Structure 1
Amino acid sequence: MTEFKVGDKVEHSHYGAGEVKYGPYEKLGTTLTGYYLVEFGYTDKCLGVHGANLTPAPAFKVGDKVTHRLFPGPFTVHSGPFPYSDGAEGAFYVIEKPDGFRAVSPANLTPYDAPDSGPSSETAGRYYVYDGVAYDLWGRYVDNDGDAWQFAEVTGVCGEMPRLVMMDDLTDGTLAEIVRQFGPLVRI
């Protein structure tokens, strides 16, 4: 049985889409375990539901615009999710790229946000400020030699200096190193 955590988006065959608010827990007065309190869209109350009756909500829907952590985008979700044929846990999606279709793991996809004028409360985590300049971590940049750069997957400790990767030869370095050696960087 799949374990869920608070905040997970789930689906139930009868109640529809919902969000886990508490659990797992043991049902009061019994030894039955694996229950969750789930808030469904049609009511403002949480319902106690056994985890076996819940499935993870799909991360993306057909037609969603997404970006891939390794390829410039945006792309369109063409189909999915599909289970892996070898029985591996999880699922994959098919995205439409200019040169065809590609099967991808949802772990490599993020929803596409159209470029905006700068940080807002909704997108503040997307930006990293260095030396007074706000860099969009989802954006692509060009240096003073005309080489294109994009930010590598952001992982590690919160506040860690993000890394950039040159798009045509995979040279990489921290934002500070790249700005110092090849800057200034201009968003493209």
Structure 2
Amino acid sequence: MDRPRRIAGEVWVAVGVLAMAGWTLTEPAHPAGFITWAAAILVALGTAAQAVTGSLRWWGGRLCGGVVGLELVGAVGDRFGAFGRPGSPAVSWGDWSHFQAEAAQLVPWDRLVVPAAVAATVAEVVLGVLLVVGPWQRWTGKATAGLFVIYLLAMIPGMGSASILEYGLPVLIGGALVSSARGDRRATHQSPAVGRENTLAADYK
């Protein structure tokens, strides 16, 4: 079952990188930031490596998971001022109030803004740490991709497609899917039959 997710991840990454490049060329006043582009390039490299058989497949997926995980952890740090004050270069929010104000654009009911912001933050911390550390990679990758899809669907009416590309969401969705499909490291050096047996335990490694 890894192959469909791997292919879907490759498509998401390819479409995302092309869309980001096109947006950067047509809207040079509002390009994606350096960190977003760096993450997109690393995810693209990991995706390309993951398409190869052998140990590169595992390492490519591992790279994608690590990059996406760091993006999540970094985003949480950003909303608590870890990288600078609001308005500083490469800072999306800079404090909790600015993050909450952006969350209000995505949530249709005022009373749900704070719970949604807190839930998103907790989910990002948990998923980000798990992606960086590496356990339960199938379920963590799937859950992360699902979280990003929810963000994407909420941002279309709330903030527009430009914000989706500014945050590199299509590439992050693809990276999470590729991470979930990287398989067991040992299986890349064994016969298909043995590899299939080992992938049953891959979620716990």
TM-score calculated relative to the size of structure 2: 0.24
Higher RCO (C-alpha under 8 Å, 6+ residues apart): 2
> Greater helix percent: which structure?
2
